[in-house]
Amino acid sequence: MSYRMWEVMERANTGPFMEEHEFLYKRFIPKMREVIKKYNIKYDPQHPVPSDDSLADAVWQAAVEFFREVGVYNQDTHRVILFSDEEIKEALYSAPSSYVVGEGKDSRVFGHRKVEDTRPPFCIYSPDITYDEVDHLAACIAYLKEPLLDGLCAPLLEEFMGRKIQAWAPFELGGSLEHAMSLREACRLVGRPGVFLVAVGTAESDAAQISVSDPTWGVRTTDSRLVGSITEMMTNNSMMNKAAHYNMYGCFTGSLTGAIFGGYAGGAEGTAVLETAYHLKGLMVHQCNYQQNFPFHLKHGSNTGREMLWIVSVYSQAIARNTHLVQDSNGFGNAGPGTEMILYEAAAHSLTSTVSGANLWEHAPAHNKYHNRGTPLECRLAAEVGHAVANMGMKREQANEIANRLLAKYEHLIPEAPLGKTFQELYDVRKAIPRPEWLDMYYRVKEELAGMGLEFPF
């Protein structure tokens, strides 16, 4: 959907003028505190997966009021982009509830899900970290070989021809092109040439993103791109350029947002409200087709802790119950691959997200920041948990019980989570398959999850 794109772009230059600190400290923070109190939103640590519909609805109402009154700040123009109640309702009503993504035999329906939905989640696999340039193709192949994968946001590059990639420099254009071509080649090699791709993460600047729009070797109109958000509730002209280009080129656009627990929004309550409000920002400012959510803990850089699972569940339910928007939930783990902890974390995040009405974007290990520390196996487990939850018709009460049991296994380890091993240590890179010791650990944890009540389809 494109909601009055050029009128919105104009508001980025003509809205109320203010400095950034004024927007944050006189507009954002006071209004957030006001809506949390007004709608009586309270975090309950005993219920990482709440089953209180009134809580989800209160978070939605608070988010709408917050977005309408606060708006979105453009850092380049120092203007606030504002929308009326009528415009918000019009955009929500007009937005499609599903999209056909990918092409040919590899096309899939990426759509809205309800709370406790029995339809399986759309599963996008993504390690969200950089890999060695020499192993990039093999890593892409390893992910694309996974049967439950509906889409891929591929491993990233930090070097091009052995040289460091820097945004807004020629090597970024070269690295982005290499990323796009390598990904498309991997799709053909595994027999999934039309699979849905979210590309290319190596391209940080608007110029680099525009450079890889090519249906022959690069990003197609059946693929997706992402527009990020600046902390918090801000944009800039580069982001607006991306949004305009994606819509004019014709590909799908995802709104990439991560509200920070412990940041300007405060604790769990404010973070849940903000992540819910980000759906409106993505829909109306960046003209996005779906919302890609990754709220994270300021200290730990993850979203699998107790308070973070509550946030994930609450905003997912708020959107699932009160809109027909398409959303997915991006897991950020603390532990690295090759550990039981990352498998428990991936399972907990997937369980919480799926039963709460979200699709899945799994899974970023090791705080999403360590080179080569990501494998398809933790994504596979998350997807299998998501399918199990949906196929069982699991209720939130049961999901909450399982989430508490999983948290008991790893939450005390979060401050000093094990880093695990690299992709090259855990996979036979030439064959793009997991090594026996990593596969054995995966099967042991899967059996343990089955003992907790998860009924895996295979």
pLDDT value for 1: 61
Stretches where the chain sits below pLDDT 70 are 1-2
d(CA 155, CA 296): 20
8 Å CB contact between 3 and 91: yes
The DSSP code for 336 is P
CB 268 within 8 A of CB 304: no
d(CA 131, CA 163): 14
**What pTM did the predictor assign?**
0.97
Q: Where are the domains of the chain?
A: 98-451
Name the CATH topology of 98-451: TIM Barrel (3.20.20)
Residue 296, beta-bridge partner list: 260
Average pLDDT across the chain, whole number? 97
427, two tokens: 């996979």
Among candidate residues 258, 355, 386, 416, the one with its CA nearest the CA of residue 49: 355
What type of residue sits at position 434?
P
| Cβ neighbourhood burial of 123 (10 Å; 0-12, 13-18, 19+) | buried
Task: Extract the tokens encoding 164.
Answer: 């460091």
CA dihedral 170, 173, 176, 177 (to 10 degrees): -120
Distance CA 259, CA 231 (A): 8
pLDDT of residue 167: 87
Helix residue ranges, H only, 268-375: 268-284, 306-322, 340-355
pLDDT value of residue 410: 98
**What are 343's two structure tokens?**
């498998």
**Interatomic CA distance for residues 160 and 239, integer angstroms:** 24
